Structure 1
Amino acid sequence: MKKKQLSIIENLIWNSAGSFTYLICQWLLTWIIVVHSKDLGNAGNLALAISITNIFFNLACFNIRPYLVSDLKQCYRSEQYSAFRLFTCLASLILCLIYTCMFGYTMDQIICVMLYMVFKLGEAWVDLLHGFEQRKMRMDIGGISLFIRGILSVLSFMAGVRFSGSVNTGIIFMTVCTWSFIFLYDMPQARKFEKIAPVFTKETIKKMLIEFLPLTIGGVLSSLGPSLPRQFLEAEQGSKVLGIYSTVATPAVFVQVAATYVFNPVLTEFASLYQRGEKRRFLKLLFKISFFLLAVSGASLVGGAVLGQWGLTFLYGKRIGAHADLFLPVIIFTCLNAMSWFLWSILIIFRELKALLVINVIGVIMCILIMFPLISKYGMQGVNDTLILYTCVLLVLMAVLVGRDIKCKFDR
């Protein structure tokens, strides 16, 4: 007999506990390299791999999870979602290799990027499985998976680095361990709720490609925007400088991702309220989540201002603590980005897939136009300036569209 559905609060707690653990463990990968390596170029290579694969991770996911968890009428079967995810994972792996080879990176950097991409494909596959479970209000399974995979990733990565002194070996160890856990735990658990064996049909793949393509291109562009300034910084000033910037920026990502732990579990509730036309309850929930995001942002800015330099010095040492002036602007960007992720998810529930594509095209064009002069003149601080301005543009456009849709779609 299957366990009954969990409440929103229970799902939130399980998801937050697992996701926080996983996030901390992913940050520890950077910490391990910075602390145990005399050459910051190693941290730069890892940061480059993370930055590039984030683009193609979005392509692998095709950004369909908000669509999936709000697909309460099951427009597509679970077997079709599985087949489509395998198709996009293979495509993203090939495109990542082509993209990496185009930019003249060293062979060591290319290998690092591709190994990390294989690891990220594990995240993409398990994200689909957790989406099925979320639709059934059983995010405890995903929380447990995230917790254990996070611990495994750190231990295996550290073992690989200590065994060989190579970042690439560490990634191989980490990939083998986490993929093994997905096969042994996540897939059997997901089968309790859905049929996950992929069923490939040319017609369905084509239909899903056409329907989700605007969303996916928009998602890739939303990753490309934050990634381009970092890649330009590496090209302009080298991997060591990128290593410094990424090390300073990594702790601030906790703010951004923590925000998603709160609104991700309620996306199914938003979809349900929208389908039932319950505008008042929809708005009430929307204001609650928005207020929480603002509160977290305010607390993070105060904490960053007071503890930023001490915290960076404590975690990484004086050579990173000397760049604490970068930390507060990074927090501002991550807070703004968390808010844009929330509005992004709401617009997917409203099925504004083409509009999201247009918004992200505008954002990336603006990002490209301003990043060259800002980074050339201000270096690492120029990356922050670019990202803040870029995200503000996205936020304004999304907020206007959400307001219009709430007025029109509920009152039609």
Structure 2
Amino acid sequence: MEEINYKPTGKTIFIWNILGSLSNSLLSMITLMLVTRILDNNRTDIFSIAWSISQLMATIGTFQIRTYQATDVKEHFKFGQYFRFRIISIIAMMACSLGYILIKNYDMYKGSIVLIICLFRAVDSLADVYEGYFQQKERLDLAGKAVTYRIIIAVSIFSISLFLLKNLLVACLALLISYIVSFFIFNVRYLIRINRLKIKESWNQNKKWIFDLAKEGFPIFINAFLMMAITNAPKMKIDSAISVGELANGTQTIFNILFMPASVLTLAYIVFRPLLTKMAIAWTNKEKKKFLKIIFLMVICLVIMAIILLIGSALIGIPILSFLYAISLKNYKIELLVMIIGGCFCTFSYVLDNALIVIRKQYLLVCSYLATWVYIESVVSIFTNRWGLLGAALSYATSMMVFFFVTLLIFFICLKKEDTNE
């Protein structure tokens, strides 16, 4: 096991960072694929909505403090403080998860599945604070290894349990237990070895640091929570419609399957992340034309990739998804393309989102997220009631367009203001 101050090659860091990101992104796709192939529509729908709820609750668990922790190179806050803060946020997360289950009045079986998957996300949220420390020390290779190994082991145990027993509850418990064990092996054990797990050092009489840390993460948390709420709004509406018999069992699963390709362009955007540093340098050096050129090139590349994605999805998307998930999706090509268009607009928005962060106007982004959330909450029920699954897809896609155009407007206003100040 390597020392934390050991400096691996850039290639090693890049490979493990990509592997970790891909493993994390493929997790939901693989687990849903396994469930759809082995279980019936009712239990698959339960798993699908449990996964969506857990993703929303995970924003509370992480409080989106990872980015701040990773860039806290002078250790304004100690690891023990980040750890304590994460325990607090995870307790809040599980309280909200339990409250949500009770409010929705889920039966014992469905409520248990939702709670177990949320606990799984809680473990992931706790692991995130360890991986934030690895990133802080420029060891993204260690973070990537921990995520990759943890997910491979957990998914393997989950799939074996599901295949042998055909019992979703037992398989979810196996997923949770294997994730906990992997967390101790690949995260906790390492920090104990290098003597960094000094939790007690942070819990002194002065608790002001808790509020300071909460203040740093709150704006990003609000944005992330709103975005997850926006993304999940159609899924929540479908869940309610299934419960009252307005939509058939299996609709939730189909929506989640069709939603998977919508995030492909966002995954591709990971490749452009190194350009964010160049953007920041250009802006700091007052090279505005260079700053805008980088943004323009990124958007052009993403537009070309979006066109290829749409053409490919139109030609072979449905057959591939039908094969992977063992479900006939031949009647849902329009829904698939609508959701992919929404995912593309979401990715374009992230370019502008990151640009606003570079020019230190990130606090204005809450306007984009709030406007988009208000919009989708206003239309999701109307669209879904009128057009069913297509309506749910349209509510997502149009909300991402709203998100893009509001963010674009804010970006132009900020640039114009900068020109005026100059």
TM-score normalised to the size of structure 2? 0.85
Alignment-mate amino acid for residue 42 of structure 2: G
Within 2, Cα distance between the matches of 1:282 and 1:86? 39
Asked whether the equivalents of residues 154 and 174 of structure 1 are also in contact (C-alpha less than 8 Å), the reply is: yes
Q: Residue 151 of structure 1 corresponds to which residue in structure 2?
A: 152
Q: How does 1:81-160 map to 2 (within 5 A)?
A: 81-160=82-161
User: Contact between 1:132 and 1:190, CA under 8 Å: does it hold in 2?
Assistant: no
Find the counterpart in structure 2 of residue 294 from structure 1.
303
- Equivalent residue in structure 1 for 2:214, among 209, 213, 216: 209
Distance 1:279 1:186 in 2: 42
Matched residue of 1:3: which SS?
coil
Q: Return the match for 1:221 from 221, 226, 249.
A: 226
Residues 347 and 54 (structure 1), Cα distance of their counterparts in 2 relative to 1, 3 Å cut = farther
- Residues 68 and 131 of structure 1 are in contact (CA less than 8 Å); yes or no, is this contact kept in structure 2? yes
Distance 1:87 1:75 in 2: 19
Could you say what the CA RMSD is over the residues aligned between the two structures, in angstroms?
3.1
In the alignment, which of 19, 30, 33 is matched to residue 32 of structure 2?
30
Change (3 A) 1:278 1:219: same
Corresponding residue number in structure 2 for 1:235: 240
Q: Which residue number in structure 1 is paired with residue 16 of structure 2?
A: 14
**Partner of residue 6, structure 2:** 3
Query: Residues 222 and 360 of structure 1 are in contact (CA less than 8 Å); yes or no, is this contact kept in structure 2?
Result: yes
Give the AA of the match of 1:43.
T
Q: Is the 8 A contact 1:11 1:265 kept in 2?
A: no
Contact between 2:68 and 2:217, CA under 8 Å: does it hold in 1?
no
Residues 6 and 87 of structure 1: CA distance in aligned 2, closer, same or farther (over 3 Å): farther
Q: 1:255 — aligned with what?
A: 264
Point out the structure with max Rg over C-alpha. Answer: 2
Could you say which residue in structure 2 is the equivalent of 1:186?
A: 187
Query: What is the DSSP-based 3-state SS (H/G/I as helix, E as strand, rest coil) of the residue aligned with 2:211?
Result: helix
Give, in whole Å, the separation in 1 of the partners of 2:266 and 2:312. Answer: 17
Counterpart CA distance in 1 for 2:14 and 2:344 is: 20
How far off is 1:44 after superposition?
A: 0.5
For the 8 Å contact 2:223–2:365, the answer to whether it is kept is yes
Out of 317, 320, 323, the position equivalent to 2:329 is 320
Instruction: From the superposition, tell whether residues 305 and 192 of structure 1 become closer, same or farther in structure 2 (CA, over 3 Å).
Output: farther
1:275, distance to aligned residue in structure 2 (A):
6.1
Which runs of 5 or more structure 1 residues have no equivalent in the other structure?
Answer: none
Q: What letter matches 1:128 in structure 2?
A: V
Q: Which moved more, 1:357-366 or 1:17-26?
A: 17-26
| Residues 1:239 and 1:264: Cα distance change in structure 2 (over 3 Å) | farther
Return the offset for 1:225: 0.9
* Residues 181-235 of structure 1 deviation map (CA, whole Å, 9 limit, x = unaligned): 2221123446789945442452111222234323322221111111111111221
TM-score for the superposition, normalised by structure 1: 0.87
2:395 aligns with one of 380, 386, 400: 386
Identify the range of structure 1 (366-375 vs 137-146) with the bigger mean alpha-carbon deviation.
Answer: 137-146
Distance 2:417 2:183 in 1: 43
Equivalent AA in structure 1 for residue 17 of structure 2:
N
Q: 1:319 aligns to what SS in structure 2?
A: coil
Instruction: Give the Cα–Cα distance (whole angstroms) in 1 for the partners of residues 221 and 349 of structure 2.
Output: 16
1:300 Cα deviation after fit: 1.4
Structure number with higher relative contact order (C-alpha < 8 Å, ≥ 6 residues apart): 1
Structure 1 residue 344 corresponds to structure 2 residue 353: yes
Match of 2:315 among 306, 312, 335: 306
SS at the partner of 2:6? coil
Summarize the Cα distance change of 1:23–1:383 in structure 2 as closer, same or farther, 3 Å threshold.
same
Instruction: Give me the whole-angstrom Cα distance separating, in 1, the residues matched to 2:370 and 2:52.
Output: 19
Cα distance in 1 between the residues matched to 2:240 and 2:251:
10
Number of corresponding residues: 409
Deviations 1:125-154 (A, max 9, x none): 233333333344332222222322222122
The 8 Å contact of residues 339 and 394 in structure 2, kept in 1 or not, is answered as no
User: Please, which moves more after superposition, 190-199 or 252-261?
Assistant: 190-199
Counterpart of 1:36, as a letter, is I
Deviation at 1:262, TM superposition (A): 2.5
Question: Could you list the runs of 5+ residues in structure 2 that have no partner in the other structure?
Answer: 242-246
Distance in 1, Cα, partners of 2:9 & 2:121:
28
Describe the shift of the 1:273–1:133 C-alpha distance in structure 2 as closer, same or farther (beyond 3 A): farther
For the residue of structure 1 that corresponds to 2:329, the secondary structure is helix
Mapped partners of 1:143, 1:41: distance in 2: 35
CA deviation after TM superposition for structure 1 residue 176, in Å: 1.4
Calculate percent identity across the aligned residue pairs.
21
1:117, CA displacement in angstroms? 0.8
Cα distance 1:339–1:153, how it changes in 2: closer, same or farther (>3 A)? farther
